Every structure is written in C-alpha cells, then in structure tokens.
C-alpha cells in the first residue's frame, strides 16, 4: 500500500471564536510535490502548522507519514521538516557557520550534501547570510532544510517574496530534490500560474475549506472538460 504523506479527517482549527479551518479531509500519497493554494487568510498556514505538529487541531485527526501527529514520537517528527515563511536565517552567521550549526544541532544533518547543493548554485560559503540576495537566502534555507533529510518537507509560502527568476530557480531546486531523493514536498503558495509545471498534487483552500484536492493531471483534465475544448480562431 502506498504510504500517505498527509491524511486528515474532519480537521478543524478554531482561534478564539473564529474557525480558520473547517472539516478538512485529505489523503495525499507520499512522493512528489503537493501544492496548497488559496488567497490570503484561506487557512494555508494553519493547515501546514497542523501537519507538522506546531498546532493541535480543535476537531478531527491529522496523520503524517502514517502517524497521528498529536501522538507522534520525536523520531516520527524528526522525519518532517518545516520551513517557515521568509526563510529565517541567522543573518550575522556565514553560510558555513549556518551549516556547522545545523550539524551541531542534528546528527542526521548532511553538511556535505548542503555544501554540494550550494556550490552548484554558486553560493559562497564564507558570506554572511544577511548579505546574500533574497533568492540566495531562500536557497540556503532550503539546503539547510533538505540537509536534515526529512521524508516530508513542509514549506510555508517559500516563493512569496522572491522575484520571478529566483522563484523559478527555487522551484527547480525543489523539484530536483524530489527527483533525486525520497522526500515529499508540501508547500503553500498564492502564485498559481507556475504550479501546473511543478506539482503532482494540488489542494485548494478557500475560506477555511478545501474546495479542490487531487492529482494535478486529473484536476486539469476535469477542468479542461468543464471549460470545453479550445476552439481555434
């Protein structure tokens, strides 16, 4: 049986009196790239934080990699990586210091792998991270996250602040990592037009509810069917 990267059953999250997420039921297979899209306030961050165990659901159940997140052991949670919005880095550290820090904090951390990735992108290891461009900082944050060798990597709006070229390069790196390893990527975005090329599965959230979910080819085929065949001018 295919392992599921993420399974939710009737998940809801209430902050004080308002519901950020309601009745969310999903089953997404491991492997490939899953994109979570929706407008501001749709509930994307809430769903991602529930998926990595940073928030507890008000209702329902969240399973990642076959384990209930709320009852998960540190071992299971160490298989799940999370990159928060704006790629937090210690800006006064050099890239090399960030890598040494990563290794000191986590024995699974593959420093050589991160160095190889960054060298391929031409990112100098002796530069303070705060002096790098936004696109380079995003790549460093991604290399650090991937060096922990997670089975599931969750990224909250990783390309929101990047220009089109940096966004393209970041997505290329993500797809490359998925192609060469066993990592499943789940990321949120409100930039929809590039997703057809990038993702294998799509979740659309609107006003706290899942309005569409499934594999991208099926969704696109259904969408084109609904839209009807294109007529030539």
For ligand ATP, the binding residues (CB under 6 A) are 15, 20, 38, 40-46, 190
Could you tell me the smallest distance in angstroms from the CB atom of residue 85 to ligand ATP?
7
Could you tell me the smallest distance in angstroms from the CB atom of residue 122 to ligand ATP?
31
Are the CB atoms for 220 and 33 separated by under 8 Å?
no
3-state helix, strand, coil split of the chain in percent (to 5) is 35, 30, 35
Could you tell me the smallest distance in angstroms from the CB atom of residue 210 to ligand ATP?
12
Q: With respect to ligand ATP, which residue has the nearer C-beta, 50 or 80?
A: 50
Q: With respect to ligand ATP, which residue has the nearer C-beta, 19 or 93?
A: 19
Could you tell me the smallest distance in angstroms from the CB atom of residue 100 to ligand ATP?
32
Q: With respect to ligand ATP, which residue has the nearer C-beta, 86 or 97?
A: 86
Q: With respect to ligand ATP, which residue has the nearer C-beta, 13 or 148?
A: 13
Are the CB atoms for 41 and 32 separated by under 8 Å?
no
Distance of CA 148 to the CA centre of its chain: 14
Distance of CA 88 to the CA centre of its chain: 15
Query: Measured between alpha carbons, how far is 42 from 214 in angstroms, rounded to an integer?
Result: 18
Are the CB atoms for 48 and 156 separated by under 8 Å?
yes
Q: With respect to ligand ATP, which residue has the nearer C-beta, 41 or 130?
A: 41
Query: Measured between alpha carbons, how far is 67 from 69 in angstroms, rounded to an integer?
Result: 6
Cα distance from N-terminal residue to C-terminal residue, the chain:
47
Least Cα distance to 141 among 164, 113, 161, 118 occurs for: 118
Query: Measured between alpha carbons, how far is 9 from 71 in angstroms, rounded to an integer?
Result: 15
Could you tell me the smallest distance in angstroms from the CB atom of residue 57 to ligand ATP?
13
Q: With respect to ligand ATP, which residue has the nearer C-beta, 128 or 190?
A: 190
Could you tell me the smallest distance in angstroms from the CB atom of residue 115 to ligand ATP?
32
* Residue 14, burial from CB neighbour count under 10 angstroms (0-12, 13-18, 19+): middle
Could you tell me the smallest distance in angstroms from the CB atom of residue 31 to ligand ATP?
25
Q: With respect to ligand ATP, which residue has the nearer C-beta, 46 or 129?
A: 46
């Amino acid at each position: 049986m295919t392992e599921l990267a993420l399974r939710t059953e009737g998940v809801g999250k209430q902050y004080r009196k308002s519901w950020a997420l309601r009745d969310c039921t999903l089953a997404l297979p491991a492997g490939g790239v899953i994109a979570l899209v929706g407008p501001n306030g749709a509930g994307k961050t809430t769903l991602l934080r529930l998926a990595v165990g940073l928030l507890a659901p008000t209702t329902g159940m969240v399973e990642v990699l076959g384990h209930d997140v709320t009852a998960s052991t540190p071992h299971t949670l160490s298989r799940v990586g999370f990159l928060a919005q704006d790629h937090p880095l210690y800006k006064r550290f050099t890239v090399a210091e960030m890598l040494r820090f990563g290794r000191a904090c986590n024995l699974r951390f593959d420093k050589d792998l991160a160095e190889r990735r960054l060298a391929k992108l031409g990112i100098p290891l002796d530069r303070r991270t705060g002096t790098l461009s936004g696109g380079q900082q995003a790549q460093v944050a991604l290399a650090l996250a991937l060096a922990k060798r997670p089975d599931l990597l969750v990224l909250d709006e990783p390309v929101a602040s990047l220009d089109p070229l940096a966004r393209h390069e970041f997505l290329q790196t993500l797809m490359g990592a998925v192609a060469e390893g066993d990592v499943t990527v789940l990321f949120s975005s409100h930039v929809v037009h590039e997703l057809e090329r990038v993702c294998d599965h799509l979740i659309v959230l609107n006003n706290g509810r899942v309005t569409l979910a499934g594999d991208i080819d099926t969704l696109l085929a259904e969408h084109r069917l609904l839209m009807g065949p294109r007529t030539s001018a």
